[in-house]
Amino acid sequence: MTIARPLRALIVLAIFLWCFFVYQLLKPSPEFHGPGDRYVNFERDPNLDPTGEPEGILARASEKYAPDQRDSDRIDATLLALVRNEEVDDMVQSMIDLERTWNSKFNYPWTFFNDVPFTEEFKRKTSAVTNAKCHYELIPDEHWQKPSWIDDQTFETSAKMLESKGVQYASKLSYHQMCRWNSGLFYKHPALKNTRYYWRVEPNVHFFCDIDYDVFRYMHDNNKTYGFTINLYDDPKTLPTLWPETVKFLADHPEHLHENNAMGWLTDDTHRPENNIGAQGYSTCHFWSNFEIADMEFWRGKAYEDYFAHLDRAGGFFYERWGDAPVHSIALGLFEDSSKIHWFRDIGYQHIPFFNCPNSPKCSGCVTGRLTDGEAWLHRDDCRPVWFKHAGMG
């Protein structure tokens, strides 16, 4: 006996309506758009404070975060900036870029350092452009002032000689202080005592690419020590005795030299032989440290601490113009396994006048593959091919 066609239609309709009803009961809330996204809707829940940071919830409408990035799961890391009060607008611009492309997804804290107290204006403007916690720290005088063994007269005489050779910032004491602090003192600040990783961010830099993964977790899980985007040649006139002092240090401490070092990158004399000659054996290749993502356990280790102490006593941070970039780079190239140094090729970045601009649909606002928008001769400053030749991709 067959069921009449109208009755079959009613049964099908009833089944459809029942399935639709079950679906409505079980489907996700409209605030949830999949396992990786959560949206906070302040109109639906007026008890959420859009100016605060309720536990684990990004305190602004339409901000999202990955489910494994709640406070309890976050890597012990911070975004770090050495910045002056008068640079606040340039710092805010950098923050807006990095928050848009990355940190709004992971909500890592910002830590700002200054040798004078931060103004209320600085605090107000910077905290307004992030949902993350902001820490404002004062650098201790003993970390910032010239050490006792630096002679003022020698410094002034040396600065004039460097200026006569065209070395920028040679007479600017604060620049020398900054290079020394960034080289060997920032990671000793009490505010970073319980922090392992940092991402250095400077005022007036740009970020071009959406980064959808936690770079700190990547560093941690893949046992990486240091990450860079741009690799350049330095001016030999700023550091004529840095390599000879390094050679002296290695003679006294051969135990610190890593078997998988990047000595070939540091001593290359084929691509820019004039640099090697001017720097007395050093290629001057270095990671451009205005961008660096690093594990501070390396700086805190015995090899680097011994090396920095040697350089600090030699006086080149003041009598010459040793920068934190070549100091960090030489130490990494000698004392670390080169496979632990990573090129973040997917992070689009600009610090005038140089770019890292990946060929990726996630990037916009820069020209793919362009190193610089400055003078044509600046293209000769790219040392990445030398790094790839001697150390690989990391």
Whether 214 is in a domain gets the answer yes
Do 220 and 271 reside in the same domain of the chain? yes
Do 218 and 276 reside in the same domain of the chain? yes
Do 117 and 224 reside in the same domain of the chain? yes
Question: pLDDT tens across 175-215, in order?
Answer: 999 999 999 999 999 999 999 999 999 999 999 999 999 99
Whether 347 is in a domain gets the answer yes
Question: pLDDT tens across 139-184, in order?
Answer: 999 999 999 999 999 999 999 999 999 999 999 999 999 999 999 9
The domain of 339 spans: 75-391
Do 40 and 86 reside in the same domain of the chain? no
**Any idea which residue has 């600017």 for tokens?**
172
| Pairing of the two strands 197-200 and 77-82 | parallel
Do 27 and 87 reside in the same domain of the chain? no
Burial of 149 (0-12, 13-18, 19+ CB in 10 A): exposed
Question: pLDDT tens across 276-290, in order?
Answer: 999 999 999 999 999
Task: Yes or no: say if 198 and 78 are a contact pair by the CB < 8 Å rule.
Answer: yes
Query: Residue 33: which pLDDT band, with cuts at 50, 70 and 90?
Result: very low
Do 209 and 338 reside in the same domain of the chain? yes
Whether 143 is in a domain gets the answer yes
Do 25 and 113 reside in the same domain of the chain? no
Whether 69 is in a domain gets the answer no
Do 126 and 249 reside in the same domain of the chain? yes
Whether 101 is in a domain gets the answer yes
Is residue 292 part of the annotated active site? The answer reads yes
Query: Residue 14: which pLDDT band, with cuts at 50, 70 and 90?
Result: low
- For residue 392, what pLDDT is reported? 80
**Any idea which residue has 């006294």 for tokens?**
252
- For residue 374, what pLDDT is reported? 78
Do 338 and 380 reside in the same domain of the chain? yes
Do 351 and 256 reside in the same domain of the chain? yes
The tally of domains found in the chain comes to 2
Query: Residue 45: which pLDDT band, with cuts at 50, 70 and 90?
Result: very low
Q: Active-site residue among 99, 245, 292, 320?
A: 292
Percentage of residues in the chain with pLDDT exceeding 90? 77
Average pLDDT over residues 27-34: 31
The three-class DSSP label of residue 287 is: strand
In 50-151, alpha helices (H): 88-101, 120-127, 141-144
pLDDT value at 59 more than 70: no
**What's the pTM value of the predicted model, to 2 decimals?**
0.82
Residue 205 sits in a domain of what CATH number?
3.90.550.10
Question: pLDDT tens across 218-259, in order?
Answer: 999 999 999 999 999 999 999 999 999 999 999 999 999 999
Kindly give, in sequence order, each residue whose CB lies less than 8 Å from that of residue 332, ignoring residues fewer than 6 positions away. Answer: 225, 226, 262, 287, 298, 341
Whether 98 is in a domain gets the answer yes
Do 17 and 151 reside in the same domain of the chain? no
- For residue 22, what pLDDT is reported? 41
What does the mean pLDDT of the chain come to?
86
Q: Both tokens of residue 284? A: 């001057």
Whether 39 is in a domain gets the answer yes
Whether 70 is in a domain gets the answer no
Query: Residue 311: which pLDDT band, with cuts at 50, 70 and 90?
Result: very high
Do 158 and 93 reside in the same domain of the chain? yes
